């Protein structure tokens, strides 16, 4: 792939094991558990749970991050959020922000009960939409000792207001009304409708942001379809459930995470930069905002020549 894109990176310095565990609601969560081969078998290592972009699966971006951080000595766990990938939850592609946050805590449950993990040194990392989910989780789970986000989307604000507040209240109400009417259709046995996500073909009128996502999700660079799904559904949440994001306010009370440290990483050219800057402004100390020169939003999914892995390693080593 060009420009350092390496989403499906493999390392001979780590072992990868698919694991399953239950969240608090007895739903199976699936993840890739990655351990350094050089791990001291008589010691307990620090660990990091990692969440994928909204609409993606663990094989898209989060396992890359998990592998790179495992090479630095951390035990890492890249999870599929409920309703996505190989984790349980019906209907598929449903939106439920509280359950997404719960999955991060369930991953901490799992990691903290492994005999090779130091349960007092567990951190969390969220990419894109998972950045807002991990903040939501960390506010009520102090076991997450250090929290980082990369190319974060506030999925609540993005759906309520649009990017750069480009959506009107009337447009928001129209979206909510469409989702509500669709509930009647599906309640009476009609076909499930999907919304948002990444386009499946490019035209002369395709906006730049959609082209950016297309280059990852619809090309060999990052394309991955989990078992039991289809390319047609990749990245697309159900229309009826997507309205749940209207009630999602992850940055409210973000300052209560302090004094646990927070790191926000965004691209200088990222269309999502506003969300990391908003969270950083609201967060308590200690906190840090890292703006990567020349990087867009999707660039930080997999372009290993742009992703500041050294900064992430430094942050987690210092605080875990």
Tokens, residue 4:
């350092």
Provide mean pLDDT across the span 196-204. 96
Q: What is the CATH number of the domain that holds 55?
A: 3.40.50.1820
Position 132 in a domain: yes
Position 222 in a domain: no
Provide mean pLDDT across the span 217-246. 94
Q: Is the pLDDT of residue 129 over 70?
A: yes
* Degrees to nearest 5, angle at CA 40 with 36 and 41: 100
Domain count, the chain: 1
> What percentage of the chain reaches a pLDDT higher than 70?
99
Position 213 in a domain: no
pLDDT band at 247 (very low <50, low <70, confident <90, very high): very high
Provide mean pLDDT across the span 196-211. 96
Position 262 in a domain: yes
Model-level pTM? Answer: 0.97
Provide mean pLDDT across the span 146-175. 97
Question: What contacts 155, CB < 8 A, 6 or more positions away?
Answer: 54, 97, 129, 132, 133, 245, 248, 250
Position 313 in a domain: yes
Residue 274 is predicted with a pLDDT of 98
Provide mean pLDDT across the span 289-295. 98
List the domain range (segments joined by +) for residue 258: 2-162+248-319
Position 203 in a domain: no
* DSSP assigned state of 176: H
Residue 226 is predicted with a pLDDT of 87
Residue 1 is predicted with a pLDDT of 59
Mean model confidence pLDDT for the chain: 97
Q: Is the pLDDT of residue 228 over 90?
A: no
188 exposure class (CB count in 10 Å sphere: 0-12, 13-18, 19+): exposed
| Nearest in space to 4 (alpha carbons), one of 310, 299, 263 | 299
pLDDT tens track for 7-37: 999 999 999 999 999 999 999 999 999 999 9
Residue 83 is predicted with a pLDDT of 98
Residue 31 is predicted with a pLDDT of 98
Provide mean pLDDT across the span 237-259. 98
Residue 120 is predicted with a pLDDT of 98
Q: Is the pLDDT of residue 307 over 80?
A: yes
Residue 229 is predicted with a pLDDT of 85
Position 78 in a domain: yes
> What percentage of the chain reaches a pLDDT higher than 90?
96
Residue 3 is predicted with a pLDDT of 80
Position 137 in a domain: yes
């Amino acid at each position: 792939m060009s420009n350092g894109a390496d989403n499906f990176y493999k390392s001979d310095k780590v072992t990868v094991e698919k694991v399953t565990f239950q969240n608090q609601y007895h739903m199976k969560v699936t993840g890739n558990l990655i351990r350094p081969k050089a791990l001291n078998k008589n010691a307990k290592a620090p660990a990091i749970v990692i969440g994928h972009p909204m609409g993606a699966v663990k094989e898209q971006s989060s396992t890359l991050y998990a592998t790179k951080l495992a090479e630095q000595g951390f035990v890492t766990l890249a999870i599929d959020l409920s309703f996505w990938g190989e984790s349980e939850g019906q209907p598929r592609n449903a939106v439920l922000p509280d359950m997404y946050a719960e999955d991060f805590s369930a991953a901490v449950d799992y990691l903290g009960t492994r005999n090779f993990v130091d349960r007092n040194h567990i951190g969390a990392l969220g990419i894109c939409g998972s950045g807002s989910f991990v903040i939501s989780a960390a506010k009520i789970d102090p076991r997450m000792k250090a929290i980082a986000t990369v190319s974060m989307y506030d999925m609540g604000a993005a759906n309520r207001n649009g990017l750069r507040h480009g959506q009107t209240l009337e447009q928001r109400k129209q979206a909510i009304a469409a989702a509500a009417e669709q509930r009647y259709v599906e309640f009476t046995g009609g076909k499930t409708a999907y919304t948002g996500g990444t386009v499946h073909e490019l035209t002369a009128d395709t906006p730049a942001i959609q082209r950016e996502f297309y280059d990852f999700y619809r090309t060999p660079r990052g394309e991955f379809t989990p078992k039991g799904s289809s390319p047609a559904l990749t990245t697309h949440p159900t229309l009826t459930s997507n309205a749940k994001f209207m009630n999602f306010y992850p940055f409210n009370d973000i300052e209560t995470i302090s004094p646990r440290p927070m790191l926000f990483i965004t691209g200088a050219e990222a269309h999502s930069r506003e969300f990391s800057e908003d969270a950083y402004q609201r967060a308590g100390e200690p906190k840090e905002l890292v703006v990567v020169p020349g990087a867009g939003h999707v660039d930080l999914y997999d372009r290993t020549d742009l992703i500041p892995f050294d900064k992430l390693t430094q942050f987690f080593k210092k605080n875990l």
